[in-house]
């Protein structure tokens, strides 16, 4: 048994189904046939299978042999199991708490942490610059809108004055030639 075969991320059946692009019934059938040939999957506390990277690779190869190359399922499983070294098979059963500890014990080096903070600072500076530019653009747009409004109001006033003058000229009675000439 290889110690590295049970380290790493353990996948649930649904995740493996998604990774392989297959149905739950196909995955179950493939696992049972591999187990009949001697391959052992890690079982969780509720007897469900847990899949490690090596298991996913084996299942991908099985899928390729059966669906792409057209081999019989039993023959493909037998060929795969015979190629896999015994020490690389997953045989131990980790407890659920062990899996949670594996996911919670993530360490980040100081240099990685420093890079993360530098990227965060750069992103904050970029966001500030972007916000300033947006505010400048909004201010410019407001000025242009105010100028347009003033021009429109000026044009409306001019038209209104013209209409008033025309109306005043139409309302006044017309004087004859001599009345206009002598101002009476």
CA distance 68 to 79: 16
pLDDT along the chain (184 residues), means of 10: 56 89 90 89 86 88 85 83 60 52 59 83 92 95 96 96 85 74 73
Q: What is the predicted pLDDT for the residue at 77? A: 84
Select from 55, 73, 104 the last residue of a domain. Answer: 104
Is residue 29 helix, strand or coil? helix
Between helix 73-83 and helix 24-36 the angle, nearest 10°, is: 60
Query: In this structure, are 20 and 93 located in the same domain?
Result: yes
Of the residues 45, 79, 104, the one at which a domain ends: 104
Domain termination residue (choose one: 87, 104, 121): 104
Query: Hey, which residues does 49 pair with through a beta bridge?
Result: 43
**Structure confidence at residue 126 (pLDDT):** 93
* Same structural domain, 95 and 148: no
- Give the model's pLDDT for residue 140: 96
**pLDDT value, residue 6:** 58
């Amino acid at each position: 048994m290889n110690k590295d075969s049970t380290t790493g991320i353990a996948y649930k059946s649904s995740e493996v189904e998604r990774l392989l692009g297959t149905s739950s019934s196909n995955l179950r059938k493939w696992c049972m046939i591999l187990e009949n040939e001697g391959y052992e999957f890690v079982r969780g506390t509720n007897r469900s299978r847990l899949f490690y990277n090596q298991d996913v690779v084996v299942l991908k190869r099985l899928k390729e042999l059966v669906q792409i190359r057209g081999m019989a399922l039993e023959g493909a499983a037998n060929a795969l199991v015979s190629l896999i070294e015994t020490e690389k098979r997953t045989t131990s059963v980790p407890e659920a708490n062990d899996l949670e500890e594996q996911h919670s014990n993530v360490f980040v080096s100081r240099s990685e942490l420093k890079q993360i903070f530098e990227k965060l600072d750069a992103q904050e500076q970029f966001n500030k610059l972007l916000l300033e530019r947006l505010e400048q653009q909004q201010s410019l747009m407001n000025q242009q809108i105010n100028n347009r409004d003033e021009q429109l109001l000026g044009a409306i006033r001019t038209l209104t004055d013209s209409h008033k003058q025309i109306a005043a000229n139409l309302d006044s009675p017309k004087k004859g030639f001599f009345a206009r000439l002598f101002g009476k």
